[in-house]
Structure 1
Amino acid sequence: QLGRCRSVKEFEKLNRIGEGTYGIVYRARDTLTDETVALKKVRMDNEKDGMPISSLREITLLLQLRHPNIVELKEVVVGNHLESIFLVMGYCEQDLASLLENMQTPFSEAQVKCIILQVLKGLQYLHENYVIHRDLKVSNLLMTDKGCVKIADFGLARTYGMPPKPMTPKVVTLWYRAPELLLGMTTQTTSIDMWAMGCILAELQPHKPLLPGTSEIHQIDLIVQLLGTPNENIWPGFSKLPLVSQYTLRKQPY
C-alpha cells in the first residue's frame, strides 16, 4: 500500500545503470541499511489513470516470486508525487549483454554451463508457478560479482493457465522470438521462453547472436536456413498458423 511506502529520499542515487522495458534504473544506496540496491523508476509517460498496467503486473509478479536466480523486488518507494514510483531491487554488478561486449576472451564451456544452469533453474521456478517471462535475452540476465545469474525485467511477463488465453504475439525481442510468434500464434506457453533460452545458449560461446534478424520476415528466413522448412509432419498445426499464408518460405531440407 502506497501509504506505508518509504520515501525515495531515503536512497542516495549513485549513478544511472540502464533502462528496462518500462523504466530507468539507478544504482543507489539505502541510507538506513547502507545496502547498495537497484532503483527502478516506473515510467509514467502519458498515464492519466495512474500506474501503467505493465508496471502493476511486474510488481505483483515480483512480490510473489522468490528464487536465487530471479531478481528480488525488495520494496516499492515513492517520490514527491504519487506519479513518482520506484522499485527497490537487488543490485547486480552487470548484465550478460555488457559482459559479452567487453570480454577479451570468450566464456569457457564450463562457464557457459554454469550460466545456463542458473537461468534454467530460475526459469523452471517461473514455469512451475505458471509465469512466462516473454522477454528473455542476454541484456535481461544479470550477474553479481560472485557469479550468481538472475533473470530480470518482468515488464512483459504473464501468468498462464490451461487452456492458454490469447496474448499479443508482438513480444520477445526479435532475435529471440519463437517461430510460432513470428507466424502469429496468440496462445503462448512456456515454449517461447525455451526457444529464447536456446538462442541465448548459442550466443554465449561465440559472443554473437544466433539469429540476428533485421525484420520479421528476415528472422523467419534465418530460422528456416538453420533448421529447415517446417511442415505438418515435423510441426503439427503449422499450416493453420495465422500468418503462414503471407510468407513464401525457402525450400530448405529439414
Structure 2
Amino acid sequence: MDTVGEDEPDPIKLKSVKNNKTFTVPQNDRFGSCRSVREFEKLNRIGEGTYGIVYRARDTKSDEIVALKKVRMDKEKDGIPISSLREITLLLRLRHPNIVELKEVVVGSQLESLFLVMSYCEQDLASLLENMQTPFSEAQVKCIVLQLLRGLEYLHHNFMIHRDLKVSNLLMTDKGCVKIADFGLARMYGIPQQPMTPRVVTLWYRSPELLLGTKTQTTALDMWAVGCILAELLAHKPLLPGTSEIQQVDLIVQLLGTPNENIWPGFSQLPLIGQYSLRKQPYNNLKNKFTWLSDAGHRLLNLLFMYNPQRRCKQSVKGRSAPFRRFTSADTHRLSRFYK
C-alpha cells in the first residue's frame, strides 16, 4: 500500500517558556485532534496548483475516495502560508452542493506538513473543454452556469468574494455536479469596504475595474468572470485571451465598445486610467461574436459584461427574469455522458 506520508518522524522538541528547558512531544500528542495523513492511501497525483500538490487518495478508515491537497510550504519560514490559512478558514465554514467540500485537515509526520482532505471530483472544466471533440450545447452550458451561479449566490450571501473564478477552478463530478474550488484568493467583504490588492483574478477573467486599478472590490468582479466562463463554454475557447494588461483592456474595448462616464460613472477617475490609450470603438460586438446564441443568452452575456460594476448582473438565480432559471437534476445526468 502506497501511503501519502513520510519516513518515521524524528523526535519533535519544544522549549518551555517558563523555565527554558527543552522537552520531547509524546508521539500520541503530536497530531492533536487532527488525523495523520498515514491513514490515507495515495492512488495518483491529479494536479498541482499555486498553493500545493493534489492527490487522489483513499481514506483507509471509511474507504472513501477523496482529493488530498498538500499545502505548499517551500518558501515559508513562519509557518502556514496566509493564503492557505484563508482557504482553510473559509472552506470550513462553507457547505453547499456547488462548492467543493473541505472535509478535514490532516497532518504529516512533521509539524510543517499539512494536507486538506477535499471531496473528490473526477474532472475540471478546463481539462474537459480541452479533451471534448465538440462544444457543449447551449442546454449543457445552461446547466453548468446555473450551478456556478447557485454556488456564487451562496458565497456572496455569506459576504465572500472568490476573486479567482476560471474554468480550471470549476470541478465536475461524474454525475454532472459543478463545484467551485480553489479559495486561496477569496476574501470576506463588508461595509465599509476595505481596500484590496487589484492584482487578483487570472488575466483573461479580470474585470475592467480591476484592470484600471479600482481600490474597491465587490461581488461584481466575480460576475464578470462568470461572463468570461459562460462565453468560453459557448465558444469552446477563451473569449479574451490577453497576454498583458494593456492588451486585455484593448480586447475588452474591441468586444464591448469604449466606456465613458455616461455608461460607467466614475470611470475617468479610476487610478490607472492614464496608463491606457483606449481605442475609439462605438459598437458592442457580442452579438456578432455569438450569432447563433438565443436572445436569452445574449441578454445574460450583456448583463454580465456591464462596464459599470453597480449595474452588472447579480448572482441571484431565483428571480423570474433569470434567463437560465429552468433546471432539473436530469440536466446534470446528461453532462455525465462525457465520462462514458
> Counterpart of 2:58 in 1: which secondary structure?
strand
**Superposition RMSD in Å:** 1.0
Does the Cα contact within 8 Å between 1:29 and 1:36 map onto a contact in 2? yes
* Aligned: 1:228 with 2:257: yes
Match for residue 146 of structure 1 among 160, 175, 180: 175
> Counterpart of 1:219 in 2: which secondary structure?
helix
Q: Distance in 2 between matches of 1:89 and 1:208?
A: 29
> Counterpart of 2:79 in 1: which secondary structure?
coil
**Aligned position for 2:109:** 80
Match for residue 64 of structure 1 among 93, 96, 113: 93
Q: Distance in 1 between matches of 2:97 and 2:232?
A: 23
> Counterpart of 1:3 in 2: which secondary structure?
coil
Q: Distance in 1 between matches of 2:213 and 2:125?
A: 29
> Counterpart of 2:156 in 1: which secondary structure?
helix
Does the Cα contact within 8 Å between 1:21 and 1:153 map onto a contact in 2? no
For residue 230 of structure 1, report the CA deviation from its aligned partner. Answer: 0.8
* Aligned: 1:245 with 2:252: no
TM-score computed with the length of structure 2 as normaliser: 0.74
For residue 200 of structure 1, report the CA deviation from its aligned partner. Answer: 0.2
2:56 alignment partner AA: R
Q: Distance in 2 between matches of 1:180 and 1:207?
A: 26
Q: Distance in 2 between matches of 1:14 and 1:29?
A: 7
**Aligned position for 1:19:** 48
Q: Once the two structures are superposed, what CA deviation does each residue of 1:119-163 show, in whole Å capped at 9, x if it has no partner?
A: 000000000000000000000000000000000000000000012
**Aligned position for 1:103:** 132
For residue 2 of structure 1, report the CA deviation from its aligned partner. Answer: 5.4
Deviant stretches of 4+, over 3 Å: none
Q: Once the two structures are superposed, what CA deviation does each residue of 1:163-182 show, in whole Å capped at 9, x if it has no partner?
A: 21101100000000000000
**Aligned position for 2:62:** 33
Q: Distance in 1 between matches of 2:50 and 2:151?
A: 20
**Aligned position for 1:45:** 74
Structure 1 unaligned blocks of 5 or more = none
For residue 47 of structure 1, report the CA deviation from its aligned partner. Answer: 1.0
* Aligned: 1:8 with 2:37: yes
Q: Once the two structures are superposed, what CA deviation does each residue of 1:62-97 show, in whole Å capped at 9, x if it has no partner?
A: 000000000000000000111110000000000000
Percent identity between the aligned chains? 84
**Aligned position for 1:172:** 201
**Aligned position for 1:55:** 84
Structure 2 unaligned blocks of 5 or more = 1-29, 284-340
Match for residue 211 of structure 2 among 165, 182, 186: 182
Q: Distance in 2 between matches of 1:62 and 1:136?
A: 16
Q: Distance in 2 between matches of 1:19 and 1:153?
A: 12
What is the aligned residue count? Answer: 254
* Aligned: 1:124 with 2:168: no
Q: Distance in 1 between matches of 2:115 and 2:125?
A: 24
1:206 alignment partner AA: A
For residue 55 of structure 1, report the CA deviation from its aligned partner. Answer: 0.5
Q: Rg larger in 1 or in 2?
A: 2
